[in-house]
């Protein structure tokens, strides 16, 4: 079984949309999404600098737009299995919702823009941040975070927990890390997926009330608990609540294992999630879809795993 993965914030890179704009209709699609968000996504995804796209209010809709534009071209060229599950990390879960048919691509990119804008505003109220804690014993890492009043905002598996909370507490964590762990500060605007994002959750809830979700057309894994969500209204509720709750990517990967997934394809901007899969799900084949030239590789990977399943 092959699964699809949609990346989250931090995966962005200058020019990441450029390879996908040569396809017929791509520019018109992006123009429509730009109108829906009030952002010039074409410029931001082609000629803008790394500094210009690191703002949360820009990064989130730009990542979702990149993922969905690439998925559309992948689906046009390759017959993807209808039962292939999909999981998205953090804002990537919005893109996953669109791939699974819960929301239209335009509604999804617009929702990502509201999410990014409101999370950026919430970050301005108090100095907070995030740091990756790499290694160490999981129980000791979590105990240390609790001592400092920090939240495990992302539990990514593969020996990686992302701590979030007040800047002073993160500095203390870096000065006195858990045993056999190292702490790497992340270049983000604030403590995402924690109580500090409560104003953003409230604003997002009001916006989501006007959306009309559909039930997923393929298995869609939730960041909340790694389980498959079968109702569109429940998934939308979880997407709103997600901004103040931890991302349990470790549980998503556990579910991929339970489902018998043998290969994963990470949609653009790809790279981070296949790295986690390689470390956590030994023996699962991975493919990072970085540009249209990689689509032939997707077809080959699917053929290989279809043959393996038949055998």
Q: pLDDT for 264-278, tens place per residue?
A: 999 999 999 999 999
**Same-domain pairing of 147 and 284:** no
Residue 303 confidence (pLDDT):
85
Tally of domains within the chain = 2
Over 80: is that where the pLDDT of 311 sits?
A: no
**Same-domain pairing of 106 and 216:** yes
Give the bridge partners for 152, in sequence order.
Answer: 163
Q: What is the pTM of this model?
A: 0.94
Average pLDDT, the chain: 95
**Same-domain pairing of 105 and 214:** yes
Residue 309 confidence (pLDDT):
55
Write down which residue in 168, 185, 202 finishes a domain. 185
Class of residue 274 by CB neighbours under 10 A (exposed 0-12, middle 13-18, buried 19+): buried
Over 70: is that where the pLDDT of 310 sits?
A: no
Q: What is the mean pLDDT of residues 182-199?
A: 94
**Same-domain pairing of 97 and 23:** yes
Write down which residue in 152, 167, 185 finishes a domain. 185
Instruction: Write out the residue range of the structural domain in which residue 149 sits.
Output: 128-185
Location of structure tokens 């939308």: 236
**Same-domain pairing of 223 and 260:** yes
Over 70: is that where the pLDDT of 62 sits?
A: yes
**Same-domain pairing of 115 and 146:** no
Location of structure tokens 């699962």: 284
Q: Which tokens is 74 given? A: 């992948």
To which H or E segment does residue 263 belong?
strand 263-266
**Same-domain pairing of 26 and 162:** no
Burial 282-298 (b: 16+ CB within 10 A, else e): eebbbbbbbebebbeeb
Q: Which tokens is 76 given? A: 């046009």
**What CATH number is attached to the domain comprising 142?**
3.30.70.250
Residue 54 confidence (pLDDT):
92
**Same-domain pairing of 119 and 132:** no
Helix extents (H) in the chain = 26-37, 41-46, 56-77, 92-99, 105-123, 138-148, 167-175, 198-208, 232-241, 249-258, 272-280, 295-310
Write down which residue in 141, 166, 185 finishes a domain. 185
Q: What is the pLDDT of residues 276-308, one digit of tens each?
A: 999 999 999 999 999 999 999 998 998 887 754
* Residues involved in catalysis: 90, 193
**Same-domain pairing of 142 and 235:** no
Residue 124 confidence (pLDDT):
87
Which pLDDT band holds residue 126 (cuts at 50, 70, 90)? Answer: confident
Q: Are 131 and 183 in contact (CB under 8 A)?
A: yes
**What CATH number is attached to the domain comprising 112?**
3.40.366.10
Class of residue 196 by CB neighbours under 10 A (exposed 0-12, middle 13-18, buried 19+): buried
**Roughly how many angstroms between the first and final C-alpha of the chain, as a whole number?**
13
**Same-domain pairing of 49 and 17:** yes
Give the bridge partners for 166, in sequence order.
Answer: 128
**Same-domain pairing of 110 and 158:** no
**Same-domain pairing of 82 and 198:** yes
């Amino acid at each position: 079984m092959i699964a699809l993965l949609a990346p989250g914030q931090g995966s962005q890179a200058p020019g990441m949309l450029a390879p996908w704009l040569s396809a017929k209709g791509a520019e018109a699609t992006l123009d429509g999404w730009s109108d829906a968000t009030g952002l010039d996504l074409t410029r931001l995804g082609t000629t803008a600098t790394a500094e210009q796209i690191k703002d949360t209010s820009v990064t989130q809709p730009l990542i979702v737009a990149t993922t969905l534009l690439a998925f559309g071209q992948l689906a046009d060229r390759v017959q993807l299995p209808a039962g292939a599950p999909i999981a998205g990390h953090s804002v990537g879960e919005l893109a996953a919702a669109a791939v699974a048919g819960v929301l239209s691509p335009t509604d999804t990119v617009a929702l990502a823009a509201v999410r990014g804008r409101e999370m950026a505003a919430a970050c301005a109220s108090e100095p907070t941040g995030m740091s990756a804690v790499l290694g160490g014993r999981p129980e000791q890492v979590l105990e240390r975070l609790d001592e400092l009043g920090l939240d495990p905002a992302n539990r990514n598996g593969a020996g990686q927990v992302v701590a979030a909370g007040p800047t002073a507490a993160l500095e203390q964590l870096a000065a006195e890390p858990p045993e056999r762990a190292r702490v790497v500060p992340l270049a983000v605007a604030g403590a995402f997926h924690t109580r500090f994002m409560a104003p953003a959750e409230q604003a997002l809830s009001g916006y989501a009330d006007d959306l009309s979700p559909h039930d997923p057309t393929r298995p869609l894994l939730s960041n909340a608990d790694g389980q498959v969500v079968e109702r569109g209204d429940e998934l939308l509720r979880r997407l709103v609540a997600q901004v103040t709750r931890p991302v349990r990517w470790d549980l998503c990967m556990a579910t991929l294992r339970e489902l018998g997934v043998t290969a994963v394809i990470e949609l653009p901007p790809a790279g981070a999630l296949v790295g986690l899969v390689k470390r956590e799900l030994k023996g699962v084949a991975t493919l990072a879809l970085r540009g249209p030239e990689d689509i032939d590789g997707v077809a080959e990977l699917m053929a290989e795993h279809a043959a393996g399943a038949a055998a």
